[in-house]
Structure 1
């Protein structure tokens, strides 16, 4: 635990955040953070239980005399995205996140920070532990596995919570009050291919240095997709030199824009020098195209030992054509909210190894029909491979409520605190509110939080002063609702 970070203002949040970050908590590996959270509630003497899915629920009684006020559910997820730089030696299953202060920001050394959504969860712990807050009945819902399928939200049962208002603490821009989000669906392609004997000179291509980021929050920023760029390079190289592919390993997580892709290829001996020259030319071309968004793009080429097998040529050409043709990035902007992405898809993972291909997409949209249309486009592109295409893991969006009482209350509080109006919007990222709302349809919901940049990447950072102001905002909100 970094004591300097733990003592930042407000200590109520930062100390809990650092304690959480000492506990490995990757998605689908939450056993230790579930136990940590459960013990936190029990040590406070508060009613605490873990549901059958693994969500932790801790209930805090109202301030005396306010038992009849509207109950508030505060909610965050306790899992985090595990990503690290290629040159960072780190074991996410056993090591704690190494945070540090860099000017106005808290960052992590070569890995994701876990502020998404650790800051929200730590805030909930601060609320539960505080003896000074004025509030009505509070229920703290710590959900699991938000990042890889929203399993916790899906598994939450009706009848377990009594609150009237849900405060989701998973929005990542100060001054924003989020009242809606996109739904999503995964597309997974998996199939086998024939291998043949390799002939020629072998090389490993490293395409890295991209910013990556959250495929919902940052899909509109024009950043490079490492899988698309690698495929473009391989497709064009194949056209020019007759490439043979032994392996591809691109991207890492379904909901992160891929920052890196690695490929092992074989080139005819008499084409090696032309191939090397073309790689340098391609790198210069992409750097020029993406000069504003990806200044650190690097394509590295190293000679390696000749692999025993490579893809059969027809299977290789089908794969390269399918990936090239498949949609990726922003598909359509919203007609209703200026600047909001309506529909997008991200090619998150490409694996080619030992006779098997795995390709993964995550498609998001606030319009269900558009969401499914994009998945059918992907399916159509991959028909040429004759691979197995499956669509699954669909989750609903969250429709904005124009008559939200908590929205009006928090807009007033924001104006008083910051002397300017809050930004009311919806987000293209997936939030658990839509799923939780399907279990509890009468909840009045809103999402907000401090400023977090570059989530889902090793460049993730949390702005220190916004956490302090966020703490003031949520404390006043709890008190104002209790005094109604």
Structure 2
């Protein structure tokens, strides 16, 4: 951790900051600004605004809003003992990358937080007036941004720092919504032999940015296995557990069923396993199944078993529609994030995304129909708008000029299927000229998440150069 950027990243990584638990990191950022003698506002949601005045010669330059979110997706491998409520992240530098031990790294969006802290404390950089906005609960529905009061902001330009790619600039994003399906279940007393299948080795990933990669979803696989088995075997569900976060492609799941024909099921499942391994031999080559025999004294009723199996099988997953205008862009998708049996309730959480409100409403209606058919209650929440592409952007053109001068390379425009807060800022402040900027990162929202350290530093240099260029705008 031999640079200031890396040290700041370690500092925030020592503070637990999973979604819904941002108070400590919010207080840290607030105190950081106060210690610098800057104007600071922390709201009731724990969003933080820090204003830094323009340096000499930049008093008439347009005010720039910089923005990132404080929370991170708290994903870990099933064998990890890491406690996201109390433990600092264990950072590892390896082969030019920064990663965490068995957990997500939180570069999404710790990178943006660090960039703003570095700019706020550096007294040598020339820049316009800065309005640094740190939001909470981005990863669970952009809640902080939605509730942020922009009435005391004067920004004309905005740099969203929740992006990746280094030589690409975000120019639009999808909207989204979350769905929570719940069903009361009945447990019956029945001593029985069981089969437990552990689904492991999947790549996972961001439910927006990686959904087009045809990666397997462990909960969707569970639904397929159980649906096919239901036509051949009489069984009762004992348990299904899978996924940690709604906005991550489910990597691991366990399902357990009670049945009499254990040997027949094991023989049948070998054939199913072979087919699934072939299906995902390219996109998810690490897929594996752990099959063990157990015993149980309680099972779910036949009615609950059927409802859960049918629902997991029928719920949409993956890329549902791609853009015909922008190559490689997903414009509609669905993810099954988590499923849990807790006492007398079975819960499923889904994340739906689309660029067009009309389209996402159609997918919502599909999920609602599936829920109604199989006796699930359904609540939608945290719906957020997309950010539409603007053909003309003076600020984007300035970034292109700066990057070309600094790197002798051409930046490219990129539309993202991920949900970012820039659509909310555009709705609240329609005059804003907005860009999204960030370094190279891989496997976001998974324990394989890693940050290219050299890109981390280079992208900060681009950001500084962009701000310095604004004295003549």
| Aligned residue number for residue 19 of structure 1 | 11
**Deviation at residue 386 of structure 1 after TM alignment:** 2.0
| 1:250-265 alignment, distance < 5 Å | 250-265=242-257
Please give the root-mean-square deviation of Cα atoms over the aligned residues, in Å: 1.3
**In the alignment, which of 267, 271, 279 is matched to residue 277 of structure 1?**
267
1:278-310 CA distances to partner (integer Å, 9 max, x unpaired)? 33332222111101121211211222331x322
| 1:36-435 alignment, distance < 5 Å | 36-268=28-260, 271-306=261-296, 308-435=297-424
**Deviation at residue 181 of structure 1 after TM alignment:** 0.3
Unpaired segments ≥5 residues, structure 1? 1-5
SS at structure 1 position matched to 2:231:
helix
| TM-score normalised by the chain length of structure 2 | 0.97
| Aligned residue number for residue 3 of structure 1 | none
| Aligned residue number for residue 462 of structure 2 | 473
Q: Distance in 2 between matches of 1:355 and 1:64?
A: 64
Q: Distance in 1 between matches of 2:403 and 2:42?
A: 34
Q: Distance in 1 between matches of 2:190 and 2:334?
A: 34
Q: Distance in 1 between matches of 2:67 and 2:150?
A: 15
Q: Which runs of 4+ in 1 moved over 4 A?
A: none
Query: Across the two proteins, how many residue pairs are aligned to each other?
Result: 473
* Greater Cα shift, 279-288 or 90-99: 279-288
SS at structure 2 position matched to 1:135:
coil
1:71-105 CA distances to partner (integer Å, 9 max, x unpaired)? 00111101111111111111111111111111021
**Deviation at residue 476 of structure 1 after TM alignment:** 0.6
SS at structure 2 position matched to 1:198:
strand
**Deviation at residue 158 of structure 1 after TM alignment:** 2.7
SS at structure 1 position matched to 2:65:
strand
**Deviation at residue 199 of structure 1 after TM alignment:** 4.3
| TM-score normalised by the chain length of structure 1 | 0.95
* Greater Cα shift, 362-371 or 41-50: 41-50
SS at structure 2 position matched to 1:85:
coil
Q: Distance in 1 between matches of 2:254 and 2:152?
A: 46
* Greater Cα shift, 203-212 or 369-378: 203-212
Tell whether the 8 Å contact from 1:12 to 1:123 is kept in structure 2 after alignment.
no
Q: Distance in 2 between matches of 1:458 and 1:195?
A: 34
Matched, 1:442 2:434: no
Tell whether the 8 Å contact from 1:450 to 1:470 is kept in structure 2 after alignment.
yes
Tell whether the 8 Å contact from 1:190 to 1:359 is kept in structure 2 after alignment.
yes
* Greater Cα shift, 346-355 or 66-75: 346-355
**Deviation at residue 189 of structure 1 after TM alignment:** 1.0
